[in-house]
A and B are shown apart, each in its own frame.
Chain A
Amino acid sequence: NAGVMQNPRHLVRRRGQEARLRCSPMKGHSHVYWYRQLPEEGLKFMVYLQKENIIDESGMPKERFSAEFPKEGPSILRIQQVVRGDSAAYFCASSDGNTGELFFGEGSRLTVL
């Protein structure tokens, strides 16, 4: 049973470009969470999604950031018009919604030049 898969593992973008990060949850999991970790800082919650629904986006920046978890396919975290401050590790986690245990992927590291 594969764990949470994130890709790409590393992404380099120039200022103003778009970044798309993908997350495939563990098999049987329908709850996905995105976190951001800036260099030398802790994990910050961004958004919590269930299939086709955003449950909690209280941690998402108001502009340029969006997330989706379609009925088919991976969850996508999209960052438009990236700026240098978006450089960070973005972690995805999934759960079955019952046990409360979250399983994390290895993260996608975004570097904005």
Chain B
Amino acid sequence: DAKTTQPPSMDCAEGRAANLPCNHSTISGNEYVYWYRQIHSQGPQYIIHGLKNNETNEMASLIITEDRKSSTLILPHATLRDTAVYYCIVRVVNQAGTALIFGKGTTLSVSS
């Protein structure tokens, strides 16, 4: 069973920020939050991950609440190429025998 809850779909105007929420109320202290996305029929692509602190890279920012029960992925200036299914996943790093378990994700549609 997926440990995260995401809205099934979201819309965003091109050039605006896309804020994708994720609930993970049962997250354990040693579990990280990962975000991946899958652009139509392609292989999933890693975006970002974090444990407690907010993280930023060239693709996105990850905001994790203080209690770690939810997080938000922010794409600061969405483009049409950001249209994809976005997956929020919790996982223990460095634990042998654990794979990424994908839920249904959020389908983000960016329109002009």
Interface residues of A, Cβ cutoff 8 Å to B = 4, 33, 35, 42-45, 48, 55-56, 89, 91, 93, 97-107
Beyond A33-B100, A45-B102, 19 additional contacts (C-beta under 8 Å) are A33-B99, A35-B102, A42-B102, A42-B105, A43-B38, A45-B99, A48-B97, A55-B96, A89-B41, A93-B100, A97-B94, A97-B96, A98-B94, A100-B49, A100-B93, A100-B94, A102-B46, A102-B100, A104-B43
Given contacts A100-B34, A100-B91, A101-B49, contact A107 B97 (CB under 8 A): no
For A99, list chain B residues within 8 Å (CB).
Answer: 93
Task: Provide 25 A-B residue pairs closer than 8 Å at the C-beta atoms, listed in order of the A residue.
Answer: A4-B43, A42-B103, A42-B105, A43-B38, A43-B44, A43-B102, A44-B102, A45-B100, A45-B101, A48-B99, A56-B98, A91-B44, A93-B44, A97-B96, A98-B94, A100-B91, A101-B46, A101-B49, A102-B46, A104-B44, A105-B43, A106-B42, A106-B43, A107-B41, A107-B42
Q: Which residue of A lies closest to B105 (CB)?
A: A42
Q: Which of A43, A48, A101 has the most CB of B within 10 A?
A: A43
B16 proximal to A (CB < 8 A): no
Please report which residues of chain B, range 13-54, place their CB below 8 angstroms from some CB of chain A when the two chains form the complex. 32, 34, 36, 38, 41-46, 49
Q: How many residues of B contact A (CB 8 A)?
A: 25
Alpha-carbon gap, A97 to B44, bound state (A): 18
For A107, list chain B residues within 8 Å (CB).
Answer: 41-43
Alpha-carbon gap, A42 to B102, bound state (A): 7
For B45, list chain A residues within 8 Å (CB).
Answer: 104
B69 proximal to A (CB < 8 A): no
For B97, list chain A residues within 8 Å (CB).
Answer: 48, 55-56
Q: How far is the CB of B86 from chain A (nearest CB, A)?
A: 12
